Structure 1
Amino acid sequence: MEQQVHFLTLATADLDAARRFYVEGLGWTPLLDVPGEIVFFQIAPGTVLAFFEAAQFAQDLGTGPARPEVSGLTLAHNVGDRDAVRALTDRMAAAGGTVLTAPEEGAFGGVFHALVRDPNGVVWEIGHNPGWSVAPDGTVRLS
């Protein structure tokens, strides 16, 4: 198997809140939006993030009506400077996110970051780490 992930699918108890947060709050454009079922966002070349209505997600997995939970997971977005961390944190909060950690110096590697939980419990780290970069071909460089 190639070292790639093409879809990340998260169960959501409130699909409308997820859509509103990502479309209105983050300014993302859905790749495909099936009201009441699932919404897909292209997040990188060859990679899609999907929010699947929880009961239908459980049915798809064959686990019945129990709501699946996401744990031990964060999504991260690196921005160009500290002011961008603050601005995006404010925008996410205005769109229904909950700020868990206000913008601050991180404990590791010179990062300045904030943590914001989306309306479905997914935690985003918004960070500025001058030691990380993304090349034009999409390769992430860690230093």
Structure 2
Amino acid sequence: MDQRLSFVTLAVADVARSRAFYVDGLGWTPTVDIAGDVLMFRVGEHIVLSLWDRAAFEAEVGGPISSGGIAPVTLAHNVAARDEVDDTLAAARTAGAGRVTGGTDREWGGYTGYFADPDGFFWEVAWNPGPVGELVLP
């Protein structure tokens, strides 16, 4: 098996609400947009973020999905400059993000903050001045 990731699929309660957040709020452009069913975004050269109706997800994958606490996964959006962290967090807040934490200096030398999408999936917004940060930026 090749060492790569092709899709990240998140089971969402309301595809229309997710669309309002990601498309209308954050300004993302969907690659696939099937009302009430699935929303897909090309987020890298060979990677897609899929927001899939929770009931359809459970029917295919199995379920029900536990809804207690924070999902044990984070998604990350790295930026090229420290001030872009605060700008991106502000944009997420304006778009309707549920929880937004302010940017914080991290012990490893970077600066990060978090926001939650409408289904509670947390996105880390990170400025990483090291080689790993350079690896993930376009």
Normalized against structure 2, the TM-score is what?
A: 0.87
- Alpha-carbon RMSD across the aligned residues, in angstroms, is 1.9
Name the SS of the counterpart of 1:86 in structure 2: helix
Give the Cα separation in 1 of the matches to 2:5 and 2:82: 30
The answer to whether the aligner puts 1:90 opposite 2:116 as a matched pair is no
How far the C-alpha of 1:72 sits from its partner, in A, is: 1.1
What is the alpha-carbon distance in structure 1 between the residues aligned to residue 62 and residue 79 of structure 2? 39
The equivalent residue for 2:2 is 2
Q: Which deviates the most, 92-101 or 117-126?
A: 92-101
Amino acid aligned to 1:112: Y
> How do residues 1-143 of structure 1 correspond to structure 2 at under 5 angstroms?
1-63=1-63, 66-67=64-65, 69=67, 71-106=71-106, 108-131=107-130, 132-134=133-135
User: What corresponds to 1:141 in structure 2?
Assistant: none
Secondary structure class of the residue paired with 2:103: strand
Aligned residue-pair number: 134
Q: CA deviation at 1:135?
A: 7.2
What letter corresponds to residue 104 of structure 1 in structure 2?
T
* 1:135 to 1:21, Cα distance in 2 relative to 1, 3 A: closer
Show CA shifts across 1:9-43 (max 9, x none). Answer: 11001211211211123221101010010000001
Percent of aligned pairs with the same residue?
35
* Structure 2 spans left out of the alignment, 5+ residues: none
Give the structure with the larger helix fraction: 2
Letter in 2 for 1:7: F
Structure 1: runs of 5+ lacking an equivalent: 139-143
Q: Which amino acid aligns with 1:75?
A: L
Moved more, 97-106 or 117-126: 97-106
* 8 A Cα contact 2:98 2:120, kept in partner: no
Amino acid in the other structure paired with 1:117? A
Query: Helix, strand or coil: the match of 2:88?
Result: helix
Give the residue type in structure 2 aligned to 1:6: S
Q: TM-score, normalised by structure 1?
A: 0.84
Deviation at residue 6 of structure 1 after TM alignment: 0.9
Alignment CA distance shift 1:41-1:68 (3 Å)? farther
**Structure 2 counterpart SS, 1:98:** coil
- Whole-Å Cα distance in 1 between the matches of residues 124 and 44 of structure 2? 17
CA distance, structure 2, for counterparts of residue 135 and residue 98 of structure 1: 26
